[in-house]
Amino acid sequence: MLVHEISQVREHIKEWKKQGLKVGLVPTMGALHNGHKSLIEKSVQTCDKTVVSIFVNPIQFCAGEDLDKYPRTLQEDVKLCENAGVDIVFAPSPKEMYGEGHILSNDFLTYVVPPYFYTDKLCGKSRVGHFDGVCTVVNKLFNIVQPDFAFFGEKDRQQLIIIQKMVRDLNIPVEIVPCPIVREESGLALSSRNKYLSEDDKIHALALSKILFNIKNCYKKGVTDVQALSETAYSFLNEHHSLEYLEFRDENNLEEKQTADESTVVFIALKLNGVRLIDNISLR
Ligand code: PAF
């Protein structure tokens, strides 16, 4: 069932809670793909009721980013959700979420601001304020849906780690369920932004997963020096790629690693024909 208003969601939630039903939330920005589908399926399996939110959240986009051209495919998304057994698709307007004139300036909105230590690195370095926007909207969604479980993909692992931290720090009564990255057979991690890539770009985009798989291979063969592991990346990069970062960080608190170990996650971001792509891999 497609619902646009917060009050409608609340009515259903109230009824479900009265019946003691477990509620799962899958927060998304739509343009759903098999990665999202895997989160939805996990929620449908684990919970009595599943809510999927579809909201292209304006406050998590920085100036000059792709807010206007972000793919919006509501009809197809709703079909996918219905087929997967979703109970409510919550697709609010920006006005419904942020009020009249939906404020894009943080002068007029209470923000949830995660610690700088978590947001001044990786994607946060080039996307200043992005994670404030993410935490704020996720908090709002938690308050609206009051889920027992919420499902997040490991594809956006910095986001996942920051949301886990927020939930701990603010005692939000929800269990965050991390879900593994879904990849095409080629290795390319699924992402709504892959829609921006031409067939040719998609071939060059394989550098991300190739670099990560190769690093994990080298680590499993005994190489733990981060400098040495990083250097293996260069043979996969060419003039099409503009590398933004390749970093080795702790899976819990994003601290930098000099020596790779089982708790290390390797994060990569690069630009390909103006499209920014990210990926990561756990060395465990
Ligand atoms: O991962 C996303 O799609 C978004 O950042 C999220 C969590 C739905 C918040 O807008």
Q: How far is the CA of 242 from the centre of ligand 1 (A)?
A: 25
> What is the crossing angle of helices 130-145 and 6-18, to 10°?
50
What is the DSSP code (8-state) at residue 252? T
pLDDT band at 109 (very low <50, low <70, confident <90, very high): confident
Domain termination site, one of 179, 200, 221: 179
Alpha-carbon distance 11 to 18, whole Å? 11
Which residue's CA is the nearest one to ligand 1's atom 8? 28
Contact 246, 279 (CB under 8 A): no
- 95 and 130: one domain? yes
Paired tokens of 45? 């399996």
Which residue's CA is the nearest one to ligand 1's atom 1? 28
pLDDT of 107 > 80? The answer is: no
User: Which ligand 1 atom sits nearest the alpha carbon of residue 153?
Assistant: 1
Residue 36: active-site member: yes
Q: Is the CB of 139 under 6 A from ligand 1?
A: no
Question: Which domain CATH number covers 159?
Answer: 3.40.50.620
- 57 and 170: one domain? yes
Alpha-carbon distance 244 to 269, whole Å? 5
> In which domain, by residue range, is 200 found?
192-282
Contact 84, 44 (CB under 8 A): yes
Domain termination site, one of 118, 150, 179: 179
Q: Is the CB of 172 under 6 A from ligand 1?
A: no
**Sheet with 275-282, edge to edge strand ranges:** 241-250, 264-272, 275-282
- 35 and 144: one domain? yes
Q: How far is the CA of 211 from the centre of ligand 1 (A)?
A: 26
pLDDT of 265 > 80? The answer is: yes
pLDDT (tens digit per residue) in 157-179: 999 999 999 999 999 999 999 99
pLDDT of 100 > 90? The answer is: no
Q: How far is the CA of 147 from the centre of ligand 1 (A)?
A: 16
pTM of the model: 0.97
Q: Is the CB of 135 under 6 A from ligand 1?
A: no
User: Which ligand 1 atom sits nearest the alpha carbon of residue 192?
Assistant: 3
pLDDT (tens digit per residue) in 121-167: 999 999 999 999 999 999 999 999 999 999 999 999 999 999 999 99
Question: Which domain CATH number covers 213?
Answer: 3.30.1300.10
Residue 267's φ and ψ, nearest 5 degrees, are -110, 140
Q: Is the CB of 97 under 6 A from ligand 1?
A: no
Q: Which listed residue (12, 33, 36, 130) is catalytic?
A: 36
Helix (H) or strand (E) holding 230: helix 226-231
Q: Is the CB of 138 under 6 A from ligand 1?
A: yes
Paired tokens of 282? 């756990």
pLDDT of residue 99: 86
pLDDT (tens digit per residue) in 175-216: 999 999 999 999 999 999 999 999 999 999 999 999 999 999
Across the range 237-250, mean pLDDT stands at 98
- 138 and 226: one domain? no
34 alpha-carbon distance from chain centroid: 14
Alpha-carbon distance 37 to 43, whole Å? 10
Q: How far is the CA of 48 from the centre of ligand 1 (A)?
A: 23
Number of domains in the chain: 2
Across the range 79-85, mean pLDDT stands at 98
- In this structure, the number of other CB atoms found within 10 A of the CB of residue 168 comes to 10
Across the range 230-252, mean pLDDT stands at 97
pLDDT (tens digit per residue) in 7-27: 999 999 999 999 999 999 999
56 alpha-carbon distance from chain centroid: 12
pLDDT of 259 > 90? The answer is: yes
* Three-class DSSP category at 246: strand
* Three-class DSSP category at 23: strand
Structural domain includes residue 228: yes
Q: Is the CB of 136 under 6 A from ligand 1?
A: no
Of 101 and 90, the one with more pLDDT: 90
Domain termination site, one of 147, 179, 211: 179
- 127 and 214: one domain? no
Q: How far is the CA of 35 from the centre of ligand 1 (A)?
A: 13
* Three-class DSSP category at 110: coil
- 109 and 43: one domain? yes
Average pLDDT, the chain: 96
Q: Is the CB of 207 under 6 A from ligand 1?
A: no
pLDDT of residue 108: 78
pLDDT band at 50 (very low <50, low <70, confident <90, very high): very high
**Sheet with 49-54, edge to edge strand ranges:** 2-3, 88-90, 49-54, 23-28, 149-153, 175-179
